[in-house]
Amino acid sequence: MYDVAVIGSGPVGSRVAFKLAEFGHKVVVIDKKASLGEPVCCTGIISQECVDRFGIDKKVIFRTANSASVFSPSGKLLSLRRPEPQACIVDRAALNVSLARKAQDCGVEYVLNSTVGNLDVQEDCVRVEIIRGEAGSSTLESRAVVIAAGSASKLVEGLGLGKVGDFAMGVQAVVLAAGLEEVEVYLGHKIAPAFFAWLVPTSPGRALVGLLARSRASFHLKKLISSLAADGEIVSPEVELSFAPVPLKPLSRTYSDRVIVVGSAAGQVKPTTGGGIYYGLLCADIAAESLRQALESDNLSAKNLANYERAWKKKLGRDIKLGYWSRKIFELLSDKQIDSIFEIIKSNGIDKALLESADVSFDWHGKMVLKLIGHRALARTLEAIRLPFPSG
């Protein structure tokens, strides 16, 4: 019997497995992918803080970024630049492989090309049904299970933990883009209704173009690709689109008897940008520590595993709530109002003030949101367009 079965071999699943193996536990990771290096629908932008904290292998980093150009619906430019690197653009498939190899070096077993059909939680274990296509199905037993299989997993709902209440669809493609040196972000309902689009340089001559949308995501991305190609920013042959649902709110409950849910499967994602790697890795460490204590005391009840949810919400809860609130406000803005806010930010030097503030972070958006709405000129504008501010 395994101590822990981890479902999902992405960065979060492999990080949980690695930490548990470090604690001396017997761990298996199960994934439907045929290989660890399969392409992933993820832009792969992480902070320098994330790289340093989790010892990300520098070999998986395409480039660092200290600037970004943000375009309003009418084409107004907001240039954000700091002297030191703020983010790293990583090869997402290579990151998966790197973190999995680290876990394997600690003794973690990987079972690939296998789907988890059912989780049967018993009094003394969890029986995990593994389906291997034509090879049929088999069952393994584990004292506990970690679900880190992404927001598309149906296992969470099957355990009675509900489902993420709000999400968007992310769509992305690899394009040729010679000469692109910094991240570009595009706002506007005609480009990505209520959300945003991006063009991110990766390896030399290549970039990722993508967007978030609640509906017709592929239509909007194809339209953007055509526009960027017409402007000469990218070369646009027929491109292959990849899709991934992006949760915008956490699950109401991320644990049950012998089960913990972590990463995007738990909705542990920045609502402002949809980024989930850093939050997921932070929660992976919290999950591993909670399971270590539960395994050692042989108490894997929901009551005992509730410590995990309390800990991750203490770490991330406030930022996620503020991020979701600001996300809902942004969705209410018209293109004209977004342009007006751009002008206020530039004319009042709010962008420079934020960039010079030590409180503003690539990962922690709560303080930035509060600083923005607390600025006198911007607050007057937001009040004038009658946006729903929370009490207090």
Annotated domain spans of the chain: 2-38+92-163+251-323, 47-91+166-246, 332-384
DSSP letters, 246-293, are EESS--S--EETTEEE-GGGGT-S-TTT---HHHHHHHHHHHHHHHHH
Least confident of 60-74, 228-242, 325-339, 356-370: 356-370
164-193 pLDDT per residue, tens: 879 999 999 999 998 898 999 999 999 999
Per-residue pLDDT at 391 exceeds 50: no
Per-residue pLDDT at 353 exceeds 80: no
285-320 pLDDT per residue, tens: 999 999 999 999 999 999 999 999 999 999 999 999
Q: Answer whether 2-38+92-163+251-323 and 47-91+166-246 agree in fold.
A: no
Query: 47-91+166-246 maps to which CATH number?
Result: 3.30.9.10
pTM value is 0.92
* Beta carbons of 36 and 9 less than 8 angstroms apart: yes
Distance in angstroms (rounded) separating the CA atoms of residues 26 and 5:
9
Beta strands in the chain (DSSP E): 2-7, 27-30, 45-47, 61-65, 67-71, 77-81, 87-90, 109-111, 115-121, 126-131, 137-147, 167-176, 183-187, 196-201, 206-213, 242-247, 255-256, 259-261
Alpha-carbon dihedral of residues 328, 330, 334, 339, nearest 10 degrees? 170
Q: How confident is the model at residue 392 (pLDDT cuts 50, 70, 90)?
A: very low
- What is the pLDDT averaged over residues 335-358? 80
In the chain, the percentage of residues whose pLDDT exceeds 90 is 69
Least confident of 23-37, 89-103, 121-135: 121-135
Alpha-carbon dihedral of residues 139, 142, 147, 152, nearest 10 degrees? 0
| Domain 2-38+92-163+251-323 belongs in CATH node 3.50.50.60 | yes
